Amino acid sequence: MQYEAIILEKRGGMATLTLKRPETLNAWNDEMAREATDAINEVERDENIRVLIVTGAGRGFSSGVDVRKELTAIVEGAEETIFERIMQGKPSVVTIGLKLRIMDKPVIGAINGMAAGAGFAIALACDLRIASEKAQFSMAFILRGLMPDTGGTFFLPKLVGSAKACELIFTGDTIDAHEAERIGLVNKVVPHEELMETTEELANKLLKRPPVALKYAKRAIYKGLVEVDLASHLDYEIALNRMCTHTGDFKEAVKAFLEKREPVFKGK
């Protein structure tokens, strides 16, 4: 499939989705949303791909929704705005975060520059985040007279706690990569030129793990964040683990342990 507003590359079991509107710091518009949706669906269907990396072209990860086009249209009273398109169920940046979160494969965000507004929310939707020293983060919605959407109010408090989330959301302040690491927003900060190398090293480590167990672990983690009953969650964990024991990878892991060698997982 040919893409214009994004780049999808596949190599060695991993896929990299690069947002490609660098002249706007990769601001989201309809075309990017449609293509990113198609690309994520393609990765989901491809059994050879086991890890997805999301990053941005140029100086930014994503500056959010295209303010010049989308928000100006609202101010000028356009008949159809981004909100109407979202309510009609059309592909939009709002649904991208959901697709990344419910995808059974691990998603790593390689945050190469500014992640603002909806772009920040998309970074939060990734399971893991590696940040360049040049990365910056801002819940800029409030500065545009809006409150966060795209999952911003869902993801952020779970990562940094409600008080810090309120501070970032209410002020719209920009924080740098090191502050983001300090508050638990990103897993690691690296020199800018080492960003993709470090991210791919992490992806390669995940490629050596059993895919079925990874899939179920991701499901259990996010279910646990909203589960109010521990007993129910313990039952859920056991049910998933019982399914893991029926895989060839489980048998390979036990055999490799007993033989004192590294396991070779096949995702079956």
pTM for this prediction: 0.94
Other Cβ atoms less than 10 A from the Cβ of 221: the count is 10
CA 187 – CA 129 distance, rounded (Å): 6
pLDDT at position 85 is: 72
Q: Is 36 exposed, middle or buried (0-12, 13-18, 19+ CB in 10 A)?
A: buried
Quick one: three-class SS letters along the chain? CCCCCEEEEEECCEEEEEECCHHHCCCECHHHHHHHHHHHHHHHHCCCCCEEEEEECCCEEECCECHHHHHHHHHCCCCCCHHHHHHCCCCCHHHHHHHHHHCCCCEEEEECCEEECHHHHHHHHCCEEEEECCCEEECHHHHHCCCCCCCHHHHHHHHHCHHHHHHHHHHCCEEEHHHHHHCCCCCEEECHHHHHHHHHHHHHHHHCCCHHHHHHHHHHHHHHHHCCCHHHHHHHHHHHHHHHCCCHHHHHHHHHHHHCCCCCCCCC
Domain spans of the chain?
Answer: 6-207, 211-259
CA 99 – CA 97 distance, rounded (Å): 5
CA 100 – CA 54 distance, rounded (Å): 10
Q: From the options 2.60.40, 1.10.10, 1.10.12, 3.30.70, give the CATH code of 211-259.
A: 1.10.12
pLDDT at position 53 is: 98
pLDDT at position 142 is: 95
CA 128 – CA 110 distance, rounded (Å): 9
pLDDT at position 78 is: 67
pLDDT at position 249 is: 96
Angle, helix 211-226 to helix 248-259, in steps of 10 degrees: 110
CA 220 – CA 242 distance, rounded (Å): 13
Residue with tokens 């214009």: 4
Is the CB of residue 109 less than 8 Å from the CB of residue 19? no
The third-level CATH classification (topology) of the domain covering 6-207 is: 2-enoyl-CoA Hydratase; Chain A, domain 1 (3.90.226)
Question: Tell me: the pLDDT tens digits for 117-172?
Answer: 999 999 999 999 999 999 999 999 999 899 999 999 999 999 999 999 999 999 99
Residue segments in the chain with a per-residue pLDDT below the cut of 70: 68, 70-71, 73, 76, 78-79, 81
